Amino acid sequence: MSLKKYLLAPGPVPVPPNVLNAMAAPMIHHRSPDFVELFAEVKEGLKYLYQTSQPVMILAATGTGGMESAVTNFLSPGDKAIYVNGGKFGERWGKICAAYGVQTVEVKVEWGRSVDPAAVKAALDANPDAKAVYVQASETSTGVAHDIRAIGELTRNLAAITVVDAITAMGVVNVPMDEWGLDVVVSGSQKGYMLPPGLAFVGVSEKAWRLNATAKCPHFYFDLAKERKNLETNQTVFTPAVSLIVGLREVLKMVRQETLQGVFERHDRLAHATREGLKASGLRLYPVGTPSTAVTAVMAPEGMDGQEIYKTLRTKYGVTAAGGQDQLKGTVFRIAQLGYADTFDTITAVAAVEMAITTLGGKVNLGAGVKRAQELLLAK
């Protein structure tokens, strides 16, 4: 018998059956009245999720496409931007800026730590001509969360905008765009949205739109001003990923039914039980800073290869998690608890990790982590 598969990686994530069924419906044309009606509903649902009065652009792209649009639509070659580099995806902000001739000021953060907002303030004070601050809400590579609320407050009364990669945060934790003064917020379909990869979402404040009017970085496909105009007629500029948008409507219905608070509490409960369960197993978590609610980064036991643990989870137990990236390869492995995740995904994750490490000859408190996770989940 082939292994039953469990997808517990930080994206893509499992897709709910009702969403899969919706996406299997006959194709509709993207310029038809049926699509206009669909898009109008989705447009309002995204405002609810983003907690914004602003329209949220939908791009046929991965999250990185959304990140790129968040540079090219608001800056010009030679402009200065501050970016927080505390992991693989923070580093990506710097690479995108460099590709378009934007001068960068790096706020370097040790991997595993959250950025100190005071360090961002110091960079802003030293560079009053900076046009933007780029930061992750959840740094997927390290399992760390940054205080985007505090950073949004730093730029609220400045000319600079705050741009947030919320790709593993949106639909997982509270990211109230308007309330926190976040100017550009990027998210992606394969994470908290419980969809296949292929959609990027970009929310933009009025402050950021004013900066857009003077931006000179080249862009054609990722033209957010054109997308904003087309949103007025419930259309996209270019051919959209129709089936994914059909699925998105179902997801946004599920979010409204659960409520935002319910979504946030569920993820917080699962993340807490995962972390405490793994610690009870005798394992050490990687983050020193605030842990991400979306993904838990775990240190491989001393003398063990984290990549071997990751591979054993997949090949022997059918659990697809994630290994470490770059400097963390072999040092950590990562377990996600986001999107279409529930109590027994958490139990499965903790049990599978205990069994995989035991299989490889490592020492864990077999069963102790599962017991602790169960206790915490029952308490809720």
Residue 240 C-beta-side C-alpha neighbours within 13 Å: 30
Alpha-carbon distance 156 to 14, whole Å? Answer: 37
pLDDT of residue 57: 98
Cβ atoms 309, 333 nearer than 8 A: yes
pLDDT score, position 11 = 95
Q: Give me the long-range contacts of 77-80 (CB less than 8 A, separation at least 24).
A: 77/101, 77/102, 77/216, 77/217, 78/102, 78/103, 79/103, 79/131, 79/132, 80/104, 80/105, 80/127, 80/129, 80/130, 80/131
Q: Is it true that 17-258 and 259-379 share their CATH fold?
A: no
* Separation CA 137–CA 188 (nearest Å): 13
Return the beta strands (E) in the chain as ranges. Answer: 6-7, 56-60, 80-85, 103-108, 132-136, 138-139, 144-145, 161-165, 184-188, 199-204, 295-299, 319-320, 322-323, 332-336
How far apart CA 108 and CA 111 sit, in angstroms, is 9
Parallel, antiparallel, or unpaired for β 319-320 and 103-108?
unpaired
Question: Parallel, antiparallel, or unpaired for β 199-204 and 184-188?
Answer: antiparallel
The Cα–Cα gap between 279 and 139 comes to 21
pTM above 0.95, yes or no: yes
| Mean pLDDT (10-residue bins), the chain, 380 residues | 91 97 97 96 98 98 98 98 97 98 98 98 98 98 98 97 98 98 98 98 98 97 98 96 98 98 98 98 97 98 96 97 94 97 98 98 97 94
The residues spanned by each domain of the chain are 17-258, 259-379
CB-based burial, 223-245: b 16+ in 10 Å, e otherwise: bbbbbbebbeebbbbeebbbbbb
Res 147: pLDDT: 98
What is the fold, at CATH topology level, of the domain defined by 259-379? Answer: Aspartate Aminotransferase, domain 1 (3.90.1150)
pLDDT at 2: 78
Q: Could you say which of 3.30.70.3270, 3.30.465.10, 3.30.420.40, 3.40.640.10 is the CATH number of the domain covering 17-258?
A: 3.40.640.10
- DSSP notation for 198-264: -EEEEEE-HHHHHHHTT--S--SSS-HHHHHHHHTTT--SS---HHHHHHHHHHHHHHHHH-HHHHH
pLDDT at 209: 98
pLDDT, residue 6, reads 97
Question: What pLDDT is attached to residue 347?
Answer: 98
Residue 134 has a pLDDT of 98
pLDDT for 1 equals 72
* Most distant pair of Cα atoms in the chain: their distance: 63
